[in-house]
Structure 1
Amino acid sequence: MSDQRLHCINCGIASWRRNPSIGLHQIEEESILSVIQQWVAPQVVNRSHHICQGCRDLAMRPSGADEQLSIPTTGHCQVCVNCGRSVLRARSHLLRTDIERERRIHTVISEWILPRTISRARALICHSCWVRADRNAHHYLARPSGSSGSVNVTSGHGELTPQCPPPPRPTSQASQATSQFTPRVSDSIILPDYVRAVDTESQCFIEGCRRQERNRVPVTIRKMLLDHYKFYIPKNNRLCDHHLKIQSWDFLTGILENYINVFTALHIQDMLELKSHSNTGLNFIDIQNMEDHLVHHWLGFTKEQYQRILNEVPQLLLKSSGPIGLTAYLMKLRTSDSNERISALFNIPKRTLDGYVSEARHLMYDYFVPRHLGLNHMNRQEIVDRTLLIPQGLFGNHNGVNKPVIIIDGTYCFIEKSSNYLYQKRTYSLHKYNNLVKPFMIVCADGHIVDVMGPYPATTSDAEIINHEFRDPNSILRQYFQAGDAFVLDRGFRDALPLLHECGYRTYVPPTLQEGEWQHSTLEANKSRAVTIYQMGC
């Protein structure tokens, strides 16, 4: 979680970073609140704001005359207006608007500290913030959603009024005419019913979020927030992974008052374009027009991967219902939703969707699966080429010839408890205390799945499965794998090792402690590690 950035509402010093002993206090006394309100006017101050101990002591001092209360006084004078760091002994810069570069930095800092304002005559920023603002000033001028002016709070009712923004960059013909800064009429406007996020690309636009990811905000999310919450997100703002995948935005209703309602002409233009944007949303009939993150969220594939599946199974394109059935089938594999829920998303009857999904499943099994699964989809040399450097050096070389190196192991697919007693008995595992079936995996050294056999009942051991598959000399596995091939196994295949050695295969199994032994020898431990590091890596 990020640090809570508490700034003194009067002098701006912060209690985070390197000055935790500043001693910020909430404004609870009415007398202190009235004094602070006069000092920072026209900025709005309430009891939720904080003041440092120095400003608190100054506000509590006895006043001899009423006119003394109207003189703004700060407990700390040498403070960076952006980060709140004390610059008493650090390099700092004075915020000015004399030349265009300084005006651009002034504009960037004004946008960063919203809803706070630059109200002091001698406003300072530390060198780090000055460098960041100078670097980002060019982005604020170049991007279409950049703010063209700074914002000041001017009324006690929380309304914001804009300052005159800096003039545009002078051209070569008008360089002399713009040598002196002359304010022009502001192109900012206050929309009392709408708010916007601070215009920044450095972090997630949600207030208080300090996650490191910076994803572009999808158009669908920007339009939804504008339509339902009247919350405008500038075009180049960023969003973290957590808020990108969030399902409900109702939490915004409690924090929208912390955002600003001053908009530039570019903001208004972008808002109108968002309003006119056709919200495709979850249009599963037309995947290509959906947002990329929505496609991956519902299907588990990108648009390019989805199109590749369609291209490899052209039979799906020959039917008008083929792409719809494939989309529904992938969605069912991804979400495990019922056909009733999926049919509601597609806005088609459930019985029709059942036929689409069944047809897509059969076409995928007949045309797509043989291309990517099974012993026939790759030859032995391809398995050798997929062997990584370490397993090739440990197990691959046999009499000077590189042989295939594969991992064989069983895995688990948990299922629901069956009402059929015999099936329930065969699928209940005393090892996992659950109902499951066991697919049997044959995997290359780089993790590529060569084939999946089974599934087998939960009561069948790994050794029994491999004895069943390799006992027949005419079996497809005996014909595919040749003498000298390397099999990396675990200790559960101990009873199948004699058969594999009889077939001429080389087996690598972690050694087992013999009776009376407490630990492996150094040689046996190294051999065990050579096998397990390869198994865990895949």
Structure 2
Amino acid sequence: MSNISRKHRQSKTRIFDRQNRCINCSFLIPKKLYDKHPVEQAPMHIVTTLRAWIFPTELSPDSIICTECYKLLQKHTNAINEESNMMSEECLPILGHRSICYPCGISISRSARTYSVPHDVKERSILLESVPLHLVSRMERVCVACWMSAYREVKRQHQHDTNHSVPNVESIGDSPDAPVPPPLPPPQSEKVLQQTPKIKSSQYRRAACTSSRCIFQNCSRSERLLIPSAIKELVLYRQKFYIPNGCRVCRYHLNQGHWNELTSELVDFTGEQFDVIMTMMERAANSYLDFSNIKIMSPHLCRYFLGLNSDQFYDLLNSIPNLVDHVPNASIALSVLLVKLKTGDSNERLATLFNKPRSTIERWMGKVKSCLNDDLIKNLLPSSK
């Protein structure tokens, strides 16, 4: 058996071996090494950060973390406790192992040969079936074994489709009365490229799929940061604006969170993009935001909804101590007003977001405004003796 064949068989085994894969960077931890950390034994602040990093990949009690990723998680959470600026590049997912073949988990940093995986090849969709959702946009190269496996699968599917599309003429070929089939057309010298059909939408728009510039128009800043998956889903769900995986954003626009300013004239979508949109919409609709504990909310979501980071939010909340006497949950009540001011959502939409009756939402906003007014006046006026 050739080396490629042996590697191919090993790769197919590794693809389904999730028990020894790091949930964050997808590195396949060798069984002879016990250098791993079960998620169920990790502190809560580590788990909270990890869940934000790997969203929308599901975290289970059986998940494990490699030592490199665990150290990065510890460093990141310690930095959060020491610094007030939560909106730096470090908020994006950080990987302990970077040169990984994501379908199988092996390191390709020293591989003599790897394969590039462009977005327009059929092999990519086969390979993505074995890639965690949070790493889909990062997959650029794979090992030889995984590429050959995907190549053979594409070839098999093509052969299967061809067999089903050609009528069976063998059974009538021996009959003297059988009609003579028309001659085959002469072979074409040049291959005609088939255009991918597009779907035009009257409601949804999309950004251009390019990583060469910031997604915001007329932005010339040099940074090219990944856009968090949670933000992509919210922008799609709330603003009907689709952000493809190839898009990037500068640090300024990532920190500002003005995603409602995104503009584009593109309204055409491929069938594959339409399928991705449906999946993203379903995840966004089923996502849960806990406004009672802003500390555990993703910094990007915090900025998106509230216009503040968590430290700024709690500074504001602590400046209106009178609020706790007027509403059941001061954090949620203040969040309602801030979301209203940041997004401009209607009261009906706020009621859906917070899962409360509209009358409750309106009453809470009135209480927050009143308490803000009273406490601010009390702090500004000199105390009488």
TM-score w.r.t. the length of structure 1 is 0.27
TM (norm. structure 2) is 0.35
More strand by share: 1
